[in-house]
Structure 1
Amino acid sequence: MNDAGTPILAEQAAAQVSEAWTEVGRPRPHESAVLHVLGQATYTDDIPELAGTLHAALGLSSRPHARILGIELDAVAASRGVLAVLTAQDIPGLNDCGPIIHDDPILTDGLVQYVGQPIFIVVADSHDNARRAARLANIDYEDLPAILTPQAARAAQSFVLPPMRLARGDAEAAFAGAPHRVRGELHVGGQEQFYLEGQIAYAIPGEDRGMHVYCSTQHPSEMQHVVAHALGLHSHHVTVECRRMGGGFGGKESQSALWAAAAAIAAARLRRPVKLRADRDDDMLVTGKRHCFHYEYEVGYDAQGRILAAQVDMVSRAGYSADLSGPVATRAVCHFDNAYYLSDVEIRAACGKTNTQSNTAFRGFGGPQGAIAIEYVIDEIARHLGRDPLDIRRLNFYGRQERNVTPYGQEIVDNVIHELVDELEGSSDYRARRAAIEAFNKTSPVLKKGLALTPVKFGIAFNVTHLNQAGALVHVYVDGSILVNHGGTEMGQGINTKVMQVVAHELGVDLERVRATATNTSKVANTSATAASTGADLNGKAAQDAARTIRERLAAFVAGQFGGEASEVRFADDTVFVAGQALRFGEVVAKAYLARVQLWSDGFYATPGLHWDPKTMNGRPFSYYAYGAAVSEVVVDTLTGEWKLLRADALYDAGNSLNPAIDIGQVEGAFIQGMGWLTTEELWWNGDGALKTHAPSTYKIPGVSDCPQDFRVRLFKNRNVEDSIHRSKAVGEPPLLLPFSVFFAIRDAVSSVGGHRVQPPLNAPATCEEILKAVAFVEAALA
């Protein structure tokens, strides 16, 4: 026993304990799971309102493109409970909330560019009174020509940014030597983020022009900048705080800025707290979505199905302003290859300026839109050659030692797609099921089954290099409890849980000792958005850096107190092992405090090795790649277009997973969300430019009944070759590409109507109507 009564352990036993103990890699529940279930988790709208709180609503345009000739707001101002009506002239600073280019006004002034564009702010004593008043404005418009589709934007050469081009090799010469060619068009629709918690901001004026904004946002620092600019203040006047979001999916990366700015403008003007909470209809009318894409493609290939040349021209529906459309298009260009080596290729992408909502980030950020085009092409090559699409995919996979450089010049050093697909093919009984489905379809004239296995290779990092940085603060209190604050935001994906596990592991303590607090711009400054699947990578590393500094200070302290080298002190199992003794962590912290050892630290991380030239579209934009594959089996009713997913098998490469339970949940959620994008979630604008699918009654996200009864999700055993946080890999966005297998299984089923002799022209989303059109095309081709 030592003087404190702690049992002395042999050094060998202590080493065994510290080596065996771990906190990362354990399937821990979400840190707020109990609060979620009990309804005690605080979201922005749950924050107790201060005395005198007012409520705001936005007055929206009813025209897609028009000049405002006159606006009469007297009825609005006279409506019950209204205290103020604010227009662009009432903004004290910069009237802009564009994240990159300043082309996105908070309130439009004289020109409206889409149905739903905010024109004025109503501030009233209640949420309902503000909303009712906002609909009483009398606005006189002069209508202007409107562009509504990406095809129309291409025809009119209407773009928010200059088109981009990436080329490698000599595609023209390669086409000339290719024995076979396939060419065609494809349209893939957009997608509403449909977060459970809508856009909301609660702005509270403070002393000396200060403003505290509670906001449901993935990017508190950007909200801080936008609010400061709108109010004509410095960033230090503004604090933005977000404890958690009820979902984000990219829709709260840049587009929460409008709501934060509008609430703050009203609060600054009236010197009272103001809450702006979007109704679901208004939210969907005002905010941008996943970009829809239209493709024109041509691919040359040999008799075996190996791609020799590829050319694709993509145009997206950017909407009326640039927002994040440029980076989205860049990522689409960089993911056109997906898991395939393309020797001679030309990829063009343009961001069509349309009179619709300004589209924005959405889980995958252009990657899914880029990759689905090459998968569509491979599906056609296989059908033309009478081969199984999986065989064509394998033939074109990136190699391990050769054929391993992307069109943008990054060498792939972590390729596991061959082993991963081998494992999934075997575990899913792919070949046997393919034969069984063929036999079923021969005897079933109406119901047709389809099967598809599709791979994923997804680059991880922001494709703007300077955004790949993060900071964190870790505090150890005298009682041994630990508080961590980092720049990431929690939107249900479990980033706080993972960061807490990293800190607990670094300090060798039980997870129960660690708590994460709200993301706050006054604690960690200049943070990047929680996006691009980098949240745990960046913030985990930053928190680990902070915790390691504290651990090293404690190690030096106990080594000085009890002898031995600081490098030999071990922290594990809530215990500090030093010089043959075992001290409880709390005991060490208490002694260190009395010895005036600093028990808090900041941490910082910047992803190394990244570089990108946007002019040549060449470089190393990604730190590493995440891989995956999925097999889906569907049955389609060829008389109604109805279909059902019978079974899905997914295998995903999360590296050395920080938390397998959370990662598997993310894969499952991404799969269903991506399936919705490709099959049921149809955005529809009428001829007047009004989005008519703006509520759950008209917009169909997947429900429980859409999930397959047989859903098998596993993590591929792997360790990241890059020095990511504990050699883990990102799991936020890449799994959204796994349900490509659902779309191509549907296309496979439709193709079986014609004995796989006709290419079904199936666009996404593959709604019942689209499926029936494809079936009719196949039947007509055979008539």
Structure 2
Amino acid sequence: MESRFDEEDALRLVRTYEFPTNLEIILATPSDRPNNPPSDTVCFFWDQFLVGLRFPIHHFILEVFEIMWRAKATERLKLRAVEIEVATEKEVAARGLVPASSGVEGTQSAPEVSAARAPVHEAAGDATSSAPAGEETVDTIATACALTAFKLRHPIKMYLDRSTDMVMVGGRHPMKITYSVGFKSDGKITALYLNLLVNAGISEDYSPLISHAIITCLKKYNWGALAFDIKLCKMNLTSKSSMRAPGQVQGSYIAEAIIERVASFLSLDVDVVRKRNLHTYESLKFFYGSSSGEAPEYTLPAIVDELFTSASYFNRLEMVLHFNSCNKWKKRGISWVPIVYEVEPMPTPGKVSILNDGSIVVEVGGIEIGQGLWTKVKQMAAFGLEQLWDEEKKYLLDRVRIIQADTLSLVQGGLTAGSTKSEASCEAVRLACSILVSRLKPLKQSLEEQMGSISWDTLITQANLQYVNLSASTFWVADDTSSYLNYGAAISEVEIDVLTGATTILRADLTYDCGQSLSPAVDLGQVEGSFVQGIGFFVLLILFNI
């Protein structure tokens, strides 16, 4: 294959990727194919593609077709204030948005936000079932609603229909990807250079954080030498919001597109190329640092092997090839992909109070958006308080009630995002329960010496009579080494009608290492839900207004 580089280009690549100076470098084009290059040759392939430029829309986000913001103006100690109820995961930021947007921040005429909270819908049990299309967006509609209530001195409710909402903030960030990838004849990738242009829209929104998210998930493969240049492009278009693994979805897709291209170029089985470029523990530690944990914690290769066995992958692959050879107008495909997702738990407050009747009220910084956070917190509160009994357990789950906190009751609620708020909220609640247990245990031992075995109600009654503090608040902060990696893999088999384009998902197998699950039923639902939501992103490209 004829080299298409001049000497200056070759030297630039050697410097960029720190290759040995005696290494032969050639540039390939899509029309070229390698002709048994020697093992000491690295072939560079250049290509580009688009992600999301056809405005992909999630149809599987939320089921309610109204977005509501409520605001109420009040007089409080001669200071004008507003309370806002905003469908967002970032109510703390919403509280600071109103004074800043009034143009008179810091003066007596600026509206003060006395409290911001996420709305709770009793039927749905979901604090943001009427939220905007994006999870973390603090929408300007909430600000407009609060300022209107402040000016008119009257409760105000504003809402958007779902179609308008999707036009305003729906969809992930579109981007244009240009890349140059170096690889050997056996499919081992040695270097990757990425140039990404991200459509950030008219305002910043979540866009400044999208770059880190993309690269974090892209690093699931061992690229050897990795270099990238990401630019956020300001456009005269609506900004895209964040929605379930923002940036990580695009990063994973970019990685798979490059792997598929290399396999196609070398005429190799893509399964071989994928497995060849999975991380060893040493390369994982190089790419992810302390988040990689200890060597036994790197379970991705074992997950892939187990998935292949449980899903009968190779048998099904042969069946797919046989089906395609026998059918002209319908074709099947089967593929697998790995995933590495880096998370970092965020600081979270928690408060547990025991009322006079023995019921338990819990407040946490996390917001229930249908991910089962309240279910896990409720289970953790019952588990934590049951530690008062060493042998005979008192089942307290039915006594636990979670209430939605606001920015007055918990002033440092933080952000519900990043797949860690549930575990962080549970840890904050566990610590609060430990404080209550330490207060109640001496009283319980004293009562048992006098009365024998005692019930929960008796214990709480006596605690109130003896003025034991039955409320405990904590603020859990993760240490510097608390970030970690999640591993998973999936196999999907689909059938496509080549005449109509109709696509049928025949089977999907997903394996996910969630460690020690706080609530297996909830976590299983989250894995299944994320798969369905992914279908919405990759298959449904256009939103039709009916």
TM range (shorter): 0.7 to 0.9
Which residue of the partner structure matches residue 102 of structure 1?
Answer: none
Note the alpha carbon deviations across 1:667-699, whole angstroms, 9 max, x for none: 1111011111111133xxxxxxxxxx4x553xx
1:665 is matched with: 525
Q: Distance in 1 between matches of 2:362 and 2:171?
A: 33
Aligned sequence identity (%): 28
* 3-state SS of paired residue (1:199): strand
Q: Hey, what does 2:283 align to over in structure 1? A: 403
Answer yes or no: is the 8 Å Cα contact 1:199–1:252 preserved in 2. Answer: no
State the shift of 1:472 in Å: 1.4
Cross-structure match for 1:217 = 88
* 8 Å CA contact 1:301, 1:309 repeated in 2: yes
Using a 3 Å threshold, how does the CA distance of structure 1 residues 497 and 411 change in structure 2: closer, same or farther? Answer: closer
- Deviation of 1:388 after TM superposition, in Å, equals 2.9
Partner SS state of residue 403, structure 1? helix
Q: CA deviation at 1:642?
A: 2.5
AA partner of residue 646 (structure 1): L
Q: Given residue 62 of structure 2, which amino acid in structure 1 is its aligned partner? A: Y
Residue 213 of structure 2: aligned partner: 331
What is aligned with 2:473?
602
Which structure 2 segments of 5+ residues have no match?
Answer: 1-12, 26-39, 121-126, 387-394
TM-score, structure 2 normalization = 0.84
Pairing partner for 1:439 from 319, 322, 328: 322
Compute the displacement of 1:410 (Å).
4.2
Q: Which amino acid aligns with 1:203?
A: A
Deviations 1:708-743 (A, max 9, x none): xxxxxxxxxxxxxxxxxxxxxxxxxxxxxxxxxxxx
- In structure 2, distance between residues paired with 1:211 and 1:348: 44
What is the identity, as a one-letter code, of the residue corresponding to 1:202?
A: R
Q: Residue 533 of structure 1 aligns with which residue?
A: 419
Secondary structure at the residue paired with 1:210?
strand
More displaced, 181-190 or 422-431? 181-190
Q: CA RMSD in A?
A: 2.5
Do structure 1's residue 493 and structure 2's residue 371 form an aligned pair? yes
Distance 1:456 1:432, change over 3 A: same
Equivalent residue, structure 2, for 1:372: 253
Please state how far the C-alpha of 1:590 moved relative to its aligned partner: 1.3
Partner Cα separation in structure 1 for residue 236 and residue 89 of structure 2: 26
Q: Which amino acid aligns with 1:265?
A: L
Q: Which residue, out of 286, 299, 320, partners 2:168?
A: 286
* 1:348 CA displacement: 1.8
Q: 1:172 to 1:356 in 2, by over 3 A?
A: farther
Q: CA deviation at 1:234?
A: 7.3
- Matched to 1:490, the amino acid is E
Instruction: Identify the match of residue 203 of structure 1 among 49, 52, 71.
Output: 71
The equivalent of 1:394 in structure 2 is 275
Give 1:390 shift. Answer: 2.3
The SS at the match of 1:356 is: coil
1:455 matched residue in structure 2: 338
Q: Quick one: distance in 2 between partners of 1:547 and 1:557?
A: 16
CA-CA distance at 1:658 after TM superposition: 1.3
Contact 1:308 1:343 in 2 (8 A): yes
- Point out the more displaced range, 445-454 or 281-290: 281-290
User: Quick one: distance in 1 between partners of 2:67 and 2:56?
Assistant: 17
Q: 1:169 to 1:250 in 2, by over 3 A?
A: farther
Alpha-carbon distance in structure 2 between the residues aligned to 1:276 and 1:408: 44
Q: Which residue of 1 aligns with 2:31?
A: none
Q: Is the 8 A contact 2:198 2:232 kept in 1?
A: yes
Q: 1:398 to 1:200 in 2, by over 3 A?
A: same
**Is 1:628–1:652's contact at 8 Å kept on the other side of the alignment?**
yes
Task: Give the conservation status (yes or no) of the 8 Å contact 2:63–2:129.
Answer: yes
Asked whether the 8 Å contact 1:328–1:366 carries over to 2, the reply is yes
1:238-279 deviations in Å (ceiling 9; x for gaps): 4434321116587141233x1211111111111000001112
Quote the Cα distance in structure 1 between the aligned partners of 2:291 and 2:324.
Answer: 43
Q: Distance in 1 between matches of 2:51 and 2:132?
A: 19
Q: Which residue of structure 2 aligns with residue 229 of structure 1?
A: 100
**Contact 1:341 1:406 (8 Å CA) reproduced:** no
| Separation (CA, whole Å) in 2 of partners of 1:417 and 1:408 | 14
Distance of 1:384 and 1:437 partners within structure 2: 22
Q: Matched residues in 2 for 1:169 and 1:251: separation?
A: 42
Q: Does 1:472 align with 2:354?
A: no
Q: Secondary structure in 2 aligned to 1:204? A: strand
Give the aligned residue type for 1:246: S
Distance in 2, Cα, partners of 1:255 & 1:286: 13
Q: Distance in 2 between matches of 1:595 and 1:296?
A: 70
SS of residue in 2 equivalent to 1:282: helix
For 2:464, the equivalent position in structure 1 comes to: 593
Q: Which amino acid aligns with 1:390?
A: D
Amino acid at match of 1:204: K
Q: What are the within-5 Å matches in structure 2 for residues 516-531 of structure 1?
A: 516-531=402-417
Residue 236 of structure 1: CA displacement?
Answer: 5.9
* Partner Cα distance (2:204, 2:85) in 1: 26
Find the aligned partners of 1:318 and 1:260 in 2 and give their Cα distance: 22
Give the distance between the partners of 1:168 and 1:650, measured in 2 at CA. Answer: 40
Per-residue deviation, residues 83-137 of structure 1 (Å, max 9, x unmatched): xxxxxxxxxxxxxxxxxxxxxxxxxxxxxxxxxxxxxxxxxxxxxxxxxxxxxxx
The aligned runs of 1:667-706 (5 Å cut-off) are: 667-682=527-542, 693=543, 696-697=545-546
**In structure 2, distance between residues paired with 1:249 and 1:389:** 39
Picking from 134, 144, 150, the partner of 1:251 is 134
How many Å separate the matches in 2 of 1:297 and 1:356?
A: 26
- C-alpha change, 1:521 and 1:436, in structure 2 (3 Å) is same
- Residue 386 of structure 1: how far off its partner (Å): 3.5
Query: Can you list the C-alpha shifts for 1:351-384, whole angstroms capped at 9, x where unaligned?
Result: 1111111112111121111121111111222233
Matched, 1:183 2:46: yes
Decide which of 208, 226, 233 is 1:352's aligned counterpart.
233
* Separation in structure 2 between the aligned mates of residue 239 and residue 336 of structure 1, nearest angstrom: 36
Quote the offset at 1:584 in angstroms. Answer: 1.9
Segments of structure 1 that go 5 or more residues without pairing to the other structure are 1-166, 463-467, 564-578, 611-621, 683-692, 698-783
- Counterpart of 2:35 in structure 1 is none
User: Which of 497, 516, 536 matches 1:656?
Assistant: 516
Structure 1 residues 438 and 247: CA distance shift in structure 2, 3 A: farther
The structure-2 alpha-carbon separation of the partners of 1:640 and 1:672, relative to structure 1 and needing over 3 Å to count, comes to same
